[in-house]
């Protein structure tokens, strides 16, 4: 029997940073260059949809040139090879987990390659540029198509499922996340209440590091594969 039966993994921008996708809150992060109130809120979209769509079209171009790194691949391997349940919850809107092979995956903050109609809620895959002139196939209204990403002030996706998984997990691993954005930053507390072992894997100690029973700091492409090998080899002895 493996030590852990039900593993929940939370991933954030730090995981994709080594693939070339920028983080948000570091000194060179996206939110130091763009006003998140203008480009990542429903109010910003209502005020200036062209500006918001241009911001996501720019980000899509960057996303098109990146590939999964060793950390994404290690997590996909864990899901495939581990003799227990592995659920990955990502705050990332990129598709690097899928490209690496993860299948049991929740995109709690949505996906950049999907469009959501602000009028009727219709969702569909959308790889081309966003434009205010495109109409929705669901309601035929123009101008409502937006990226299917969860903006500030909006409720993240699949929260009931997430809290149910946290309440049953026996290992919770937080990878590459700043520990500042709620509700994700509070998941460690839910996992602790469930009696789970908790591990932080991050470049540096996050804001919430004191909540974790165990923490390892370094490059995701190094510490994540090493941690996964320990889990698969049964050598994890925290
Ligand atoms: Zn619609």
Say if residue 238's pLDDT is above 50. Answer: no
Say if residue 235's pLDDT is above 70. Answer: no
How far does the centroid of ligand 1 lie from the alpha carbon of residue 18, in Å? 36
How far does the centroid of ligand 1 lie from the alpha carbon of residue 123, in Å? 8
Give the separation between CA 149 and CA 126, rounded to whole angstroms. 12
What is the full DSSP assignment across 28-95? TSHHHHS-HHHHSSHHHHHH-HHHHHHHHHHHHHHHTT----HHHHHHHHHHHH-SSEEEEEE---SS
* Angstrom distances, CA of residue 74 to CA of 83, 99, 111, 201: 15, 12, 21, 13
Say if residue 236's pLDDT is above 60. Answer: no
| Catalytic one of 63, 72, 107, 109 | 109
Summarised one tens digit per residue, pLDDT across range 41-60 is: 999 999 999 999 999 999 99
How far does the centroid of ligand 1 lie from the alpha carbon of residue 65, in Å? 30
Summarised one tens digit per residue, pLDDT across range 81-137 is: 999 999 999 999 999 999 999 999 999 999 999 999 999 999 999 999 999 998 888
Q: How confident is the model at residue 32 (pLDDT cuts 50, 70, 90)?
A: confident
How far does the centroid of ligand 1 lie from the alpha carbon of residue 121, in Å? 6
Give the separation between CA 28 and CA 214, rounded to whole angstroms. 28
Q: What is the pLDDT of residue 180?
A: 85
Q: Is 236 a known active-site residue?
A: no
Give the separation between CA 11 and CA 89, rounded to whole angstroms. 6
Give the separation between CA 186 and CA 12, rounded to whole angstroms. 14
Q: Mean pLDDT, the chain, as a whole number? A: 93
Neighbours of ion ligand 1 (CB under 5 A): 117, 119-120, 122, 136, 138-139
Say if residue 234's pLDDT is above 80. Answer: no
Cis, peptide link before residue 135, omega less than 30° from 0: no
How far does the centroid of ligand 1 lie from the alpha carbon of residue 136, in Å? 5
* Residue range 181-203: mean pLDDT, rounded: 96
What is the full DSSP assignment across the chain? --S-SEEEEEE-HHHHHTTT---SSSTTSHHHHS-HHHHSSHHHHHH-HHHHHHHHHHHHHHHTT----HHHHHHHHHHHH-SSEEEEEE---SSHHHHHT--SEEETTEEEEEEEETTT--EEE--S---TTPBPTTT--BS-EEEEEPPTTSPPTTHHHHHHHHHH-SEEEEES--S-STTGGGHHHHHHHTT-EEEEEESS--TTGGG-SEEEES-HHHHHHHHHHHHHHT----
Give me the phi and psi of 86, to 5 degrees please: -130, 120
How far does the centroid of ligand 1 lie from the alpha carbon of residue 237, in Å? 52
Token pair, residue 134, equals: 């495109």
């Amino acid at each position: 029997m493996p030590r852990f039966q039900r593993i929940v993994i939370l991933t954030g921008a730090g995981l994709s940073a080594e693939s070339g996708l920028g983080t948000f809150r570091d000194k060179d992060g996206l939110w130091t260059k763009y006003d998140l109130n203008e480009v990542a809120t429903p109010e910003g979209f209502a005020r200036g949809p062209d500006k918001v769509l241009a911001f996501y079209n720019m980000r899509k171009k960057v996303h098109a040139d990146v590939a999964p790194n060793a950390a994404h691949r290690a997590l996909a391997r864990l899901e495939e090879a581990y003799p227990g349940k592995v659920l990955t919850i990502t705050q990332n809107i990129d598709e690097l987990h899928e490209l690496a092979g993860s299948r049991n995956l929740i995109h709690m903050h949505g996906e950049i390659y999907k469009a959501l109609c602000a009028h009727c809620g219709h969702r569909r895959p959308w790889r081309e540029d966003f434009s205010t002139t495109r109409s929705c196939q669901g309601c035929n209204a123009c101008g409502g198509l937006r990226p299917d990403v969860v903006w500030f002030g909006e409720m993240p996706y699949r929260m009931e499922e997430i809290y149910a998984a946290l309440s049953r997990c026996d290992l919770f691993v937080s990878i590459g996340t700043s520990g500042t954005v709620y509700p994700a930053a509070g998941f460690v507390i839910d996992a602790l209440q469930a009696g789970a072992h908790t591990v932080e894997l991050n470049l540096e100690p996050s804001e919430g590091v004191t909540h974790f029973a165990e923490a390892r700091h370094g490059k995701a492409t190094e510490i994540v594969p090493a941690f996964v090998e320990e889990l698969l080899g049964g050598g994890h002895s925290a």
